[in-house]
Structures are given as C-alpha cells and as structure tokens.
Structure 1
Amino acid sequence: MKIPGSSLVRFPGNDPKLMLQMPSGGRQNTENSQLITAATVCLVVFGILAIVDGVYYHDIKYKLYQDKESILEHIYHTVRAVMFPIMMYCLFAHDFGGVLMIVGIGAVSIDFIMLIFDVKEEGRSRNRYGGLSNDEYMNHVFANTFHFVAIALILAAKPAAAWTIDPSFALGRPYPQVTAWLGSAFVAGGVIAALLHFWQWSQYFSRKVAQS
C-alpha cells in the first residue's frame, strides 16, 4: 500500500524495513519500462534460437547424449538446463527484489561458468563430425548474446532498493503481462527441458551398464 506523504510502498506481511523506494520521476519509469521491453524481445529471440540449437542440433542431428565423446558436453547442458527455470522464475516471471533476485543472479553465474566449460568442450566432442559447423557456431553466438543481454537489461531495470540480501519482496511496479507470461512459460519449458536432459543422461549410463 502507498504510505501517505511519501513515495514508499509497503507490501502486506513484509517487515517495515522492506519498504521499497519507488522512482518518483516519470522519465525513470519510462526508461525502466523500455529496458524491460527490450529484455523481453531479446528473451523471445533467444528462446527461438535455443529451441533450434537444443532440439535440432543437439538431439536430432548429433544426438550428443548417446556418445562417450560428447556426454560431458551433454552434462554441461544439463546443468545449464537446471539453472534456466531458476533464472526465469526469479528474474522474468516475477519482478523480485531481495534474496530471490540474488538467487537468480547466482543461477546466471553458474550458467555462465557452464557456458565457458561447454565452449571448451565443444571442439573435442565434435571431432568425429569434423568440428563445430559454421551454422551451429553462429547459432551459439547469437543465442548466448541475446540470452545474456536479456538478463543484463532486466537487471538494469531494477531500482537500487531491489539490490539487497533482505527477504524477497515484489517490486511495486508489475512487469508487463507479456514479460511475466513469457517468464512463466519459460519456467515450465525449462523444467521439461531439464527433466529431458536427465532422462537422456540416464539412458546413456544405462546402456553403459548393460554393455559391461
């Protein structure tokens, strides 16, 4: 609720110290709205590229989860798949400040570390195909660029008061419906993708046990 005579917003059930100072200037609100919109557009582009990469290249063309040369790359993909719905829930499906926002940033950090390992591993895992194809390489470049730009933009739109390790709270300026809907859809899709990665991983090791 709005606190009379101030620009503070108190959220029911939260500690008084979690009152959030909301931007009072229309210009700042407009700038934040533009950042959120740009982040949403980048997320849509990333989602399209990620589906092409994961479904076509990883699962259909190369079947990375089937071969010992590429199983380590698939494991890195599995960790990233687990981090993805966490990032989407904490940063896009809800406009959080506090601990849950920090959790989302932590998931982004782990995702980035796995990306570095993944890039180093890709060359070795694709040796039997003559290396990484130009088309897949370009897909990776653009997908990861839009992925991290979307995250950077959504974080840039957070007010200073959101950057705290205090208990989580919702910011008093709801995301556009399309942003929240897209974030929720990616949470659901990310959970399904993570479960699929684990299932593929288990199939590889089950075959290894059966062959031994």
Structure 2
Amino acid sequence: MEIGFIISSILLVAFAILATYDGLYLHLMKYRLPNYRQSKTEHITHTLRAILFPAILYFVFISSSPEYFYFGLLLVFIDIITVGIDAYSEENSRLWMGGLPRWEYILHLFVNGFHFATISVFLVLKIRLEAGSVVIVNGFEEVASYSAFSWLVINLIPGAIIVALLHLLLNFQKPRNSWNGLLDRFIKKPHSAKTMVKSR
C-alpha cells in the first residue's frame, strides 16, 4: 500500500505540471483559444474538465464518506466522456492554426494518461472485494505515504479552483478582453489580428 500512494503521488505531480503547462500556458496564454469561434467547443470542454478536477480531488481522494466517493466516481465518468468530446472537437478547433501540432497531441496523451493513471492506482487501494461484496476502504492514516499524498491533493485544490474560475470567466467577452489586454503586455500575440475570429 505504501508504494501505491508513492506511485499515485508521482503520477499526480506529473499530471499537475503538464496540465498547468498545457491547459494554462498553451491554451489560455500562448494560443488564447477562447478568442476563436472555431475553438469554442474545445474551450467549453476544457472549462468543464477544469471544474471537475478539484471536485474529483476532493470527492475521490479526500472525502471519507462512501456516498461522496461514489459521487466522485460519477464525476470521473463524466470527465471521461468530456475527454472524448474534447478530442473529437480538436480537429476543427485548431484549423485556424493549421491543425493540432503533433507534439501537443503527444502532450495531451501524457496529461490524460497521468490523470487517469493516478485515479486507477488509487481505486486499487480504495476498493476491495470481500466475500462477494464491495468494500470502500477508509482510514489510511496508518500508511506513512498517504499523509504525503493527501497533503499534495489538498494543496492542489485551491490552485485548481482558480484555474477553473479563469476558464469559466473566459467564456464571456468582457473578461476575455481584460485577459487579452493583460497578456498583450507580456506575451506576443500568436497570430495577426486579421486571422483572429472572436467568439460570440
């Protein structure tokens, strides 16, 4: 069980780093996907996943209530469906930039791989089959590596909520204008104004 939580912690850290680079820097800062009508569906799926992530962190990894845990599993299922919609939309979503770069496609594979691998390893530790019934394990306090894992999860939640709120706000024109103005001071626009198609 010790090694399970260590592996989960490593996977979660890898996911957090890559997801921040991909979801925050590439999508919202470098490419500014919310500015493009073609990318609207992709940004909506990103927004939904950004909202789901802190909820999954709490309900799946932290909550000790079986009912909350099952609700967390429902959120994971919704997240999986959203990933499929996101992947399906990316071909049309990135036409304005000549298609999704191959290296970013590979990055998406790693991001989602680390994300769902973290959940999978944790589920192996959390769920047991005993005498033909499903038992939800609580109280990992005796496992030394669990304290480090739970500390990591708890400290990721505030940042994840901030990123979710940013994604949500950028679905609206006025916050997008303010965000673009802020970015223009520090980051060069990815394309000329002639190629930009604003969201409605």
Aligned length: 173
Cα distance in 1 between the residues matched to 2:76 and 2:113: 13
Cα distance in 2 between the residues matched to 1:107 and 1:136: 26
2:32 is aligned to 63
User: 156, 166, 176: which one pairs with 1:186?
Assistant: 156
Deviations 1:28-77 (A, max 9, x none): xxxx2221221111010001100110122101221111111101110011
1:201 is aligned to 171
Change (3 A) 1:196 1:170: farther
> Which stretch of structure 1 is more off in the superposition, 147-156 or 189-198?
189-198
Structure 1: where are the runs of 5+ without partners? 1-31
The one of the two structures with greater contact order (alpha-carbon pairs below 8 A, sep at least 6) is 2
Change (3 A) 1:52 1:206: closer
1:6 is aligned to none
| AA aligned opposite 1:179 | F
2:183 is aligned to none
Alpha-carbon distance, 1:96 to partner: 2.7
* 1:172 lines up with 2:139 in the alignment: yes
Structure 2: where are the runs of 5+ without partners? 178-198
Cα distance in 2 between the residues matched to 1:206 and 1:60: 11
Alpha-carbon distance, 1:206 to partner: 8.3
SS in 1 for 2:23: helix
SS in 2 for 1:123: helix
Identity of aligned residues (%): 34
Asked which structure has the greater CA Rg, the reply is 1
* 1:50 lines up with 2:12 in the alignment: no
1:100 is aligned to 68
* 1:83 lines up with 2:48 in the alignment: no
2:104 is aligned to 136
Change (3 A) 1:57 1:122: same
| AA aligned opposite 1:136 | E
Alpha-carbon distance, 1:194 to partner: 1.1
SS in 2 for 1:79: helix
Deviations 1:70-100 (A, max 9, x none): 01110011111111011101222x2635111
SS in 2 for 1:173: coil
Alpha-carbon distance, 1:113 to partner: 0.4
Change (3 A) 1:159 1:44: same
| AA aligned opposite 2:86 | D
Cα distance in 2 between the residues matched to 1:197 and 1:156: 32
SS in 2 for 1:69: helix
User: TM-score, normalising length from structure 2?
Assistant: 0.78
